[in-house]
Structure 1
Amino acid sequence: MTTTSAPSSRPLTRQVSHRVSQSVFDGSRLRVVLLVDVNDGAQQQFLEAYEQLCNQVASVPGHVSDQLCQSIENPSQWLITSEWESAPPFLAWVNSEEHVQMVEPLHSCVRDTRSLRFHVVRETGGPAADPASGKRRLQASPRIGDGVIRHALTFTVKPGSEQTVAKILSDYAPPEPRVDDTTRLMRTSLFMHGNRVVRAIEVRGDLLAALRHVARQPEVRAVEEAINPYLEQERDLDDQESARVFFTRAALPAVHHVTAEREDPDAERHALYYPARPGRGMELARLLAQQDEAAADDPRNPVLCSTIFQRDDVVVRLIDVRDGLDAGDPALSLGLLDPAKAAELTTFADGDLTRLLKLARMDLITDRRSPRG
């Protein structure tokens, strides 16, 4: 396949396939819903913290508007909705250190929060306009999902401790896959690249419930405690705020996923780490997404499934590959068909794609599928 990359500003909805189950690069408006359970008696404190946050977020690029609502049935339940020009500017803000510090006053007066993000597909007033017109910027067509939520966590360990950490992370019993009647852990894949750890999970059902379920498992808690001395970012799992901040910073959201219509039960799972140039992480993730969508139509493509995770300048691509990572065209496996573009967006030293594939390849630590049931 010799297709070239599309301009980074081009909405992916124009070429979206029914195989694509997830993407933040549609170019359409984003609606964010935050459900908040406020501590008893802390409603005024919460309102004041929101007013401060509202004034700060109003100047964030891409932010359009927000509303704060209080339940008429339970005054402890609040709802914050916000609208953004598109998903990328929201993700750039919500994953920033600025956001971590900005929302700190809110967390001191709430019991629980739950964030939901939606592309606007239709609204009162008729069908979506042509995205090229720029009038309404609604998602042109619904995506076809597979019921699986994909998420990842990433953190770094102290240089020199990599082998010790890898052994700790590979040597424990997997957690119970069943969370409840509607949620189940499907797969957990853990990789390392130098001193960076990436743990990718696939969940059917409620992601937040699954993450809390895993955190309560004794074997998982023991592993987390064992790696604490080796983490570059200190944390105290017995301190709720310390743990929250650590895992907020460690979150590595899935920004795009595509599955080809070809299946292979023997496909191998690999992860590739792309060292983005400063400030170019989102642009790099968008380029990889565009090229993965185009490549999914090519029967010669060895990549059967691809999920791109991105936060700031950390970009990881999780792929299921037939016949091994090195068997096919390295450009297709790497997802970068243009060496010049790769050099522009990454810190790879040269444009030889075979060498770049080796540099990007992460070391597999564990890859566990839950039993069917």
Structure 2
Amino acid sequence: MTTTSERVSETFMREASQRVAQSVFDGSRLRVVLLVDVYDGAQQQFLEAYEQLCNQVASVPGHVSDQLCQSIENPSQWLITSEWESAPPFLTWVNSEDHVRMVEPLHSCVRDTRSLRFHVVRETGGPAAAAEPGGRGLQASPRIGDGLVRHALTFTVKPGSEEAVAEILAGYASPESRVDDTTQLCRTSLFMHGNRVVRAIEVRGDLLAALRHVAKQPEVRAVEEAINPYLEQDRDLDDPEAARLFFTRAALPAVHHVTSGQDSADAVRQALYYPAREGCGMRLAELLARQDAAASDDPRTPLLRSTIFQRDDVVVRLVDVREGFDNVAMLGLSEPAEATELAELLEAEALHADRAGAKDGVAAHQLNIPRMDLVTDRRAPDA
């Protein structure tokens, strides 16, 4: 049986559509680079913690190999590189609670880390280098992006507090958008569905530098402190370790971004929340990636841009569409079989009651994909 992942990968590898500016679903091998700054005198402790972690990671599906390197100039600087069969198994692991527990022994000896993820595009040397790029598990062609890095955070608030939280999140003063000469916070879009909050940001330049900059801004600190009493998961922003753990769990990475190559002055931003069945989040995100690819290839499409964010079983589709188009959930759904496949990956609450008892699939109109409520959408004046 051909899986969703295989179908998506085959399509992307064959067509290498220039409209797909970012995707983890093309089947390419993944190289992960982790830069680590170790506390002075903690090198041996770090090495022992790494060896324990390395033995655990070796059994993770999709893991191929890893290397640990120490700087020849500064013994406190280390580099960990790992190779994975493709991006989805790595993201499934790195976003899991198992990963949170695995890396815990490192925290006491590490001052700072920075994780970078790359698809392998070309390689030299060895017999495999003579084969076609697609046959070597390489990204078929370079992505042509728009200079923006996209990321999101998601968390839940206590039921009954939604209105108060929305008022706080809508009313804060915008922070300084310029980080430095090369980095700028360009746009922040904030949505809610029930008690779930999603904050999507667009950054030109260094995402990590922008996140750290925003976290220090007094306007942002004030709003974060104001919503603290309403959070389902307690946090203490004055405790660096507690804050790091909260934002690690809240991270909602962008796994796919596509553009139709068109633009419109009256573009409308919408977000849809797709509650996946347990363990089906990545497959659901893959399927939506295929829908977006189909929608963007239609010259009459109302779709301007779409970004899919996914972590565990939380999937959010952020789209910019032409004004007046409201049927966003149906974009890219042209066949009943596609609607049935989507329904199989969704929690029961995302299906209309009239599907109950159906034995021959599900029609597109029977899908009940929740549209999130827009709380605020802000752009930097000079972005």
User: Could you say which TM-score interval applies, normalised by the shorter chain?
Assistant: over 0.9
Q: Distance in 2 between matches of 1:336 and 1:74?
A: 58
Contact 1:179/1:209 (<8 A) preserved: yes
Q: Structure 1 pair 103/48, CA: closer, same or farther in 2 (3 Å)?
A: same
Q: Which residue identity lines up with residue 161 of structure 1 in the other structure? A: S
- Structure 1, 94-103 or 328-337: larger mean CA deviation: 328-337
> Sequence identity of aligned pairs in percent?
76
1:8 pairs with 2:40: no
**Which residue is 2:359 aligned to?**
none
Q: Structure 1 pair 201/103, CA: closer, same or farther in 2 (3 Å)?
A: same
1:365 pairs with 2:348: no
Alignment RMSD: 1.9
Q: Distance in 2 between matches of 1:371 and 1:182?
A: 16
**Which residue is 1:349 aligned to?**
351
TM-score (norm 1): 0.93
Q: Which residue identity lines up with residue 377 of structure 2 in the other structure? A: D
**Which residue is 2:303 aligned to?**
303
Q: Distance in 2 between matches of 1:295 and 1:110?
A: 45
Runs of 4+ aligned structure 1 residues displaced above 6 Å come to 333-337
Q: Distance in 2 between matches of 1:188 and 1:355?
A: 32
Q: Deviations over 1:258-291 (max 9, x none)?
A: 0111110111000000011111110010011012
Q: Distance in 2 between matches of 1:35 and 1:370?
A: 31
1:110-121 map, 5 Å = 110-121=110-121
1:88 pairs with 2:88: yes
Q: Structure 1 pair 17/333, CA: closer, same or farther in 2 (3 Å)?
A: closer
TM superposition shift of 1:171: 0.7
Q: Distance in 2 between matches of 1:339 and 1:211?
A: 37
Query: Matched residue pairs, number?
Result: 364
TM superposition shift of 1:342: 2.0
1:273 pairs with 2:273: yes
Quick check: which one's helix share is greater? 2
Q: Deviations over 1:285-330 (max 9, x none)?
A: 001101211211112221110000000100000000102342x575
Contact 1:291/1:336 (<8 A) preserved: no
Contact 2:122/2:133 (<8 A) preserved: no
**Which residue is 1:214 aligned to?**
214
Q: Distance in 2 between matches of 1:171 and 1:279?
A: 36
**Which residue is 2:25 aligned to?**
25
Give the match's secondary structure for 2:242. helix
**Which residue is 1:129 aligned to?**
132
TM superposition shift of 1:109: 0.8
**Which residue is 2:244 aligned to?**
244
Q: Structure 1 pair 355/185, CA: closer, same or farther in 2 (3 Å)?
A: farther
1:186-265 map, 5 Å = 186-265=186-265
Q: Distance in 2 between matches of 1:7 and 1:45?
A: 43
TM-score (norm 2): 0.91
1:311-326 map, 5 Å = 311-326=311-326
Q: Deviations over 1:79-102 (max 9, x none)?
A: 000000000000000000010111
Q: Distance in 2 between matches of 1:128 and 1:336?
A: 36
Q: Distance in 1 between matches of 2:306 and 2:229?
A: 33
Give the match's secondary structure for 1:296. helix
Give the match's secondary structure for 1:9. helix
Q: Structure 1 pair 92/249, CA: closer, same or farther in 2 (3 Å)?
A: same
Q: Distance in 2 between matches of 1:257 and 1:127?
A: 31
